[in-house]
Amino acid sequence: MTKLDLPDISLHYEVTGSGPPILLLAGMLSDSASWGPLVPLLEPHFTVVRPDNRTTGRTTPWDAGVTVQHMAQDAANLMAHLGHDQFHVVGHSMGGLMATEVAGLNPHGVHTLTILASAPVRVPRTMAVFDTLREIRQAPDGERLWLLALYPWIFQPAFFMDPSNTDIALQAALNYPYAQSLHAMAHQIEALRGYRPTARLNEIKCSTKIIFAEHDLLIPESLGREAYARIASVEQVTLPDAGHSLHWDAPDSVADHVIEFVTQHPIGGS
* pLDDT tens digits for range 199-211: 999 999 999 999 9
How far is it, in rounded angstroms, from Cα 7 to Cα 61? Answer: 12
Confidence of residue 31 (pLDDT cuts 50, 70, 90): very high
Amino acid at 227: A
Report whether pLDDT(1) > 90: no
Amino acid at 206: C
Percentage of residues in the chain with pLDDT exceeding 90?
A: 98
Render pLDDT for 38-97 as a digit per residue (tens, 0 to 9). 999 999 999 999 999 999 999 999 999 999 999 999 999 999 999 999 999 999 999 999
Across 24-33, average pLDDT: 98
Report whether pLDDT(270) > 60: no
Render pLDDT for 157-171 as a digit per residue (tens, 0 to 9). 999 999 999 999 999
- What's residue 268's pLDDT? 86
Calculate the average pLDDT of the chain. 97
- What's residue 167's pLDDT? 97
For residue 90, CA distances in Å to 32, 50, 229, 262 come to 12, 10, 18, 10
How far is it, in rounded angstroms, from Cα 251 to Cα 73? Answer: 27
Report CA 260 to chain centroid distance, whole Å.
20
Amino acid at 93: S
Amino acid at 78: L
Across 120-140, average pLDDT: 96
Strands 110-116 and 87-92: parallel
CA-based nearest residue to 6, from 85, 76, 106: 76
- What's residue 269's pLDDT? 73
For residue 70, CA distances in Å to 8, 77, 105, 108 come to 11, 10, 11, 19
For residue 131, CA distances in Å to 80, 115, 124 come to 35, 24, 10
How far is it, in rounded angstroms, from Cα 63 to Cα 187? Answer: 7
First to last CA, the chain: 34
Report whether pLDDT(28) > 90: yes
How far is it, in rounded angstroms, from Cα 39 to Cα 57? Answer: 17
Across 105-129, average pLDDT: 96
3-state helix, strand, coil in the chain (%, to 5): 45, 20, 35
- What's residue 252's pLDDT? 98
Amino acid at 90: V
